[in-house]
């Protein structure tokens, strides 16, 4: 359901005039949040939220100062649509020398992750609790060494394929933000999303698919952590596919 711009919520204010119209068809909120989760949204999130992503705060779309954001210079990985945050949390703990930005517009997912981050420690994690397309606008060129897109919403009906996250609209700014040699990792349980991704990425001329053998897309990556959505897909009998693309 599209966000009603007249209803600001905990994810931030509605868009400023002049911002491009971007349809968002996912869910912004689900079941009622627990008191503790609301407290984390009010207290933990402001410390972790990436500033200057919104059009109100940054109408000129100036590139982010990542050094100031993390207080150091380190490789940066982006996870788009982290859901409950299982993968982001595990990667951030497993790679303390890497910085991570997680994007998720579904407030219940953000609320699920925050208490865990508060317990684990969050020095190398920042969050954009909103649309990844807004963040891509302001990421400096060549700033990312990896991007994860894990189980993007499948939009199985043909008439809805244009809603899929993998599209020219997102791959172009993503290619700009990824440095040469960086990886875009896409996991999906939908064979048609594999076809769709391979076609969309091939049309970009900015990436190469790295698979050499079927095991390269059937087997998870060495540092893989199962997400909530993957667990559901497996329970329902669908098979994961793991695609790795190298930025040329």
Ligand X SMILES: C[S@@+](CC[C@H](N)C(=O)[O-])C[C@H]1O[C@@H](n2cnc3c(N)ncnc32)[C@H](O)[C@@H]1O
Return the residue of 10, 15, 19, 26 that touches ligand X, per CB under 6 A: 26
Q: Which of 47, 153, 205, 219 is catalytic?
A: 153
Stretch that binds ligand X, among 12-20, 48-56, 64-72, 144-152 (CB under 6 A): 144-152
Q: Does 102 bind ligand X (CB under 6 A)?
A: no
Q: What is d(CA 193, CA 105) in angstroms, rounded to the nearest whole number?
A: 21
Interaction between residue 133 and ligand X (CB under 6 A): yes
Among the residue ranges 11-19, 48-56, 148-156, 205-213, the one whose residues contact ligand X (CB under 6 A):
148-156
SS3 content of the chain, % helix, strand, coil (to 5): 35, 20, 45
Q: Please choose, out of 48-56, 93-101, 105-113, 211-219, the segment that lies near ligand X by the rule CB under 6 A.
A: 105-113
CB nearer ligand X, residue 67 or residue 191: 191
CA-based radius of gyration for the chain: 17
Q: Which of 45, 100, 102, 104 binds ligand X (CB under 6 A)?
A: 104
Q: What DSSP state is assigned to residue 9?
A: B
DSSP one-letter code for 151: S
Q: Among residues 55, 82, 155, 207, which is the contact residue for ligand X, using CB under 6 A?
A: 82
Whose tokens are 């969309």? That residue is 200
Beta bridge partners of 126: 101
Residue with tokens 């497993």: 94
Residue reference for tokens 């009603």 = 4
Both tokens assigned to 172 = 């172009």
Site string for ligand X, 30-69 (x = CB under 6 A): ----------------------------------------
Pick from 37, 188, 227, 247 the residue near ligand X by CB under 6 A: 227
153 is catalytic: yes
Which residues contact residue 183 at a Cβ distance below 8 angstroms, ignoring those fewer than 6 apart? 145, 146, 147, 210, 244, 245, 246, 247
- Looking at 150, 190, 201, 206, which residue binds ligand X (CB under 6 A)? 150
Asked if 80 touches ligand X (CB under 6 A), the answer is yes
In angstroms, what CA-CA distances link 112 with 115, 190, 222, 228?
Answer: 7, 26, 25, 12
Question: Would you count residue 229 as binding ligand X (CB under 6 A)?
Answer: yes
Nearer to ligand X, 68 or 82 (CB): 82
Interatomic CA distance for residues 75 and 190, integer angstroms: 30
By the criterion CB under 6 A, which residues form the site for ligand X? 26, 80-83, 103-106, 109, 131-133, 150-153, 165, 227-230
């Amino acid at each position: 359901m599209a966000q009603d711009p007249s209803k600001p919520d905990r994810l931030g204010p509605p868009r400023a005039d002049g911002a491009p119209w971007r349809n968002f068809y996912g869910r912004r909120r689900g079941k009622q949040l627990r008191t503790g989760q609301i407290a984390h949204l009010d207290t933990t999130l402001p410390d972790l939220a990436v500033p200057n992503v919104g059009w109100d705060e940054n109408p000129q779309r100036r590139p982010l100062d990542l050094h100031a954001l993390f207080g150091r210079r380190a490789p940066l990985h982006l996870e788009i649509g982290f859901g409950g945050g299982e993968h982001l949390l595990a990667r951030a703990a497993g790679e303390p020398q890497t910085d991570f930005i997680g994007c998720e517009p579904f407030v219940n997912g953000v609320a699920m992750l925050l208490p865990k981050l508060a317990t684990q420690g969050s020095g190398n994690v920042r969050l954009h609790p909103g649309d990844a397309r807004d963040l891509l606008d302001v990421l400096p060129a060549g700033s990312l060494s990896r991007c994860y897109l894990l189980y993007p919403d499948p939009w199985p009906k043909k008439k809805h394929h244009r809603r899929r996250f993998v599209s020219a609209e997102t791959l172009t700014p993503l290619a700009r933000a990824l440095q040469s040699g960086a990886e875009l990792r896409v996991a999906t349980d939908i064979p048609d999303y594999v076809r769709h991704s391979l076609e969309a990425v091939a049309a970009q001329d900015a990436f190469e698919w790295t698979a050499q053998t079927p095991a390269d897309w059937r087997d998870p990556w060495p540092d893989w952590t199962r997400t909530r959505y993957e667990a559901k897909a497996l329970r329902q009998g669908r098979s994961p596919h793991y695609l790795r693309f190298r930025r040329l």
